[in-house]
Amino acid sequence: MNNIHTPAVDYRLPPDRVPETITENLTDVERTSLIDRISGLLKRENAVVVAHYYTDPDLQRLADETGGYVSDSLDMARFGNESEASTLVVCGVRFMGETAKILNPEKRVLMPDLEATCSLDIGCPADQFSAFCDQYPDRRVVVYANTSAAVKARADWMVTSGSAVDVVRHLQTQGEKLIWAPDMYLGDYVKTQTGADMVLWQGSCIVHEEFKGAELQALKQQHPDAMVLVHPESPASVIQHADLVGSTTAVINAVKEMAAKKFIVATDRGIFYKMRQAAPDKEFIEAPTAGKSATCKSCAHCPWMAMNSLDKLAHALEHGKNEIHVGMDIIERARVPIKRLLDFSRQENQEIYGNNDA
């Protein structure tokens, strides 16, 4: 029996809604000057930088060198909660800033650019998603971390890519039928692993959706000694060639733990900075994002992540700009599905933080 259902509406983002990827080009003098300026502002504002693995290496390096943190989104929020800083500067995309605010409502949360969002977030409008859920009142609502605070507030459970299979398997054993949102590829992967009865919202990550299965197979034949690491937001045609399917933290850990010296990596290339730190003696190859006579839009790097820059970070800190605001009603409701995940992980003795989402 096929226990997967799909709504008629396709919420994947069309190419004309994807911004161009902009890279901050700095001279060494400009970079050093900005980093010194930001370091002073961090002290003045009692602030700390939390950066995602997909942001520019300059931002990850800054976080590491100034007492901040680089990780997945939920782990970033956890670090912010444990930090004594009163201001969190979230270098990532908007839902990460909102998650930080949900778990740290008493703290000021700033971002370098509030326009830095996510195709999964944009493709799951809270009002439309709520109406969709109302069509299936007998189903529990499970949402991925890559969603807005308002969508989380409509959910029963929030999951990360590292916890999704275990949570859904648990709910399946309880006899629950599910609504899943927003990533249809991750949802399909979870359904394949668990056999759960799931209605899938039709959204996608523009970065992972562009990886190509046939071209990956050809690349693997060119590098037979390489291990293939794939994030589960990728299409099934890509996942089938993986030696390991896992979250961002899981694939970073894999390059340290696997004996292989060469890896083909199907996730945002921003992760290569931490991979090279973790395994400096190993080689990393980008998985292909375009087939023959085709072009890629994101080309293995999120254009919204690329909106984060040292210059914008300095401006936000200096002037108190780009603050994340989430209403207390939304915060209180959104914390419920997050808390369910954290309680589940403790009961199952799982490491949720650092084994997270995109």
What is the CATH classification number for the domain harbouring 314?
3.40.50.10800
Q: Looking at the structure, tell me whether residues 9 and 138 fall in a common domain.
A: yes
Average pLDDT over residues 196-210: 97
Count how many domains the chain has.
3
What integer pLDDT is reported at residue 297 of this predicted model? 74
Query: Does the pLDDT of residue 4 top 80, yes or no?
Result: no
What integer pLDDT is reported at residue 346 of this predicted model? 85
Query: Does the pLDDT of residue 158 top 60, yes or no?
Result: yes
Angle at 304 (CA atoms; ends 358, 244), nearest 5 degrees: 25
Residue 276's Cβ-side half-sphere holds a number of Cα atoms within 13 Å equal to 11
Q: Looking at the structure, tell me whether residues 233 and 103 fall in a common domain.
A: no
> Is residue 353 in a domain?
no
- What is the rounded average pLDDT for all residues in the chain? 93
What integer pLDDT is reported at residue 11 of this predicted model? 87
Q: Looking at the structure, tell me whether residues 131 and 195 fall in a common domain.
A: yes
> Is residue 151 in a domain?
yes
For the segment 285-312, what is each residue's pLDDT rounded down to a tens digit? 999 997 655 667 778 999 999 999 999 9
* Cβ neighbours of residue 299 closer than 8 Å, sequence gap 6 or more: 21, 210, 289, 290
Q: Which of 206, 227, 242 is the last residue of a domain?
A: 206
> Is residue 349 in a domain?
no
> Is residue 355 in a domain?
no
Tell me how far CA of residue 76 lies from CA of 47, 70, 231, in angstroms.
Answer: 14, 7, 19
Q: Looking at the structure, tell me whether residues 52 and 104 fall in a common domain.
A: yes
What integer pLDDT is reported at residue 10 of this predicted model? 87
What integer pLDDT is reported at residue 351 of this predicted model? 55
Residue 4's Cβ-side half-sphere holds a number of Cα atoms within 13 Å equal to 16
Lowest mean pLDDT among 34-48, 123-137, 159-173, 292-306: 292-306
> Is residue 197 in a domain?
yes
In DSSP terms, 194 is beta-bridged to: none
Q: Which domain holds residue 35?
A: 28-116+305-340
Q: Looking at the structure, tell me whether residues 199 and 336 fall in a common domain.
A: no
Angle at 169 (CA atoms; ends 164, 174), nearest 5 degrees: 130
Return the higher-pLDDT residue of 17 and 82: 82
Query: Does the pLDDT of residue 354 top 60, yes or no?
Result: no
What integer pLDDT is reported at residue 296 of this predicted model? 76
Lowest mean pLDDT among 78-82, 216-220, 234-238, 253-257: 78-82
**What percent of the chain lies above the pLDDT cut of 70?**
94
Q: Looking at the structure, tell me whether residues 182 and 41 fall in a common domain.
A: no
Q: How many residues does the chain have?
A: 358
**What percent of the chain lies above the pLDDT cut of 90?**
85
Query: Does the pLDDT of residue 217 top 90, yes or no?
Result: yes
Query: Does the pLDDT of residue 2 top 70, yes or no?
Result: no
Helix (H, G, I), strand (E, B) or coil at 20: coil
> Is residue 298 in a domain?
no
What integer pLDDT is reported at residue 130 of this predicted model? 97
Q: Looking at the structure, tell me whether residues 142 and 9 fall in a common domain.
A: yes
Q: Looking at the structure, tell me whether residues 92 and 124 fall in a common domain.
A: no
Q: Looking at the structure, tell me whether residues 32 and 92 fall in a common domain.
A: yes
What integer pLDDT is reported at residue 327 of this predicted model? 98
Decide if 5 contacts 178 (C-beta within 8 A).
Answer: no
What integer pLDDT is reported at residue 43 of this predicted model? 98
Q: Looking at the structure, tell me whether residues 13 and 159 fall in a common domain.
A: yes
> Is residue 358 in a domain?
no
Residue 49's Cβ-side half-sphere holds a number of Cα atoms within 13 Å equal to 33
> Is residue 237 in a domain?
yes
Q: Looking at the structure, tell me whether residues 34 and 98 fall in a common domain.
A: yes
What integer pLDDT is reported at residue 1 of this predicted model? 43
Q: Which of 206, 238, 262 is the last residue of a domain?
A: 206
Lowest mean pLDDT among 75-79, 121-125, 195-199: 75-79
CA distance 275 to 255: 7
Q: Looking at the structure, tell me whether residues 146 and 160 fall in a common domain.
A: yes
What integer pLDDT is reported at residue 357 of this predicted model? 54
CA distance 97 to 116: 10
Lowest mean pLDDT among 6-10, 40-44, 46-50, 299-303: 6-10
Q: Give the number of other Cβ atoms within 10 Å of residue 61's Cβ.
A: 17
Return the higher-pLDDT residue of 57 and 351: 57
What integer pLDDT is reported at residue 174 of this predicted model? 96
| pLDDT tier at 8, thresholds 50, 70, 90 | low
Average pLDDT over residues 183-192: 98
Decide if 147 contacts 130 (C-beta within 8 A).
Answer: no
Query: Does the pLDDT of residue 269 top 70, yes or no?
Result: yes
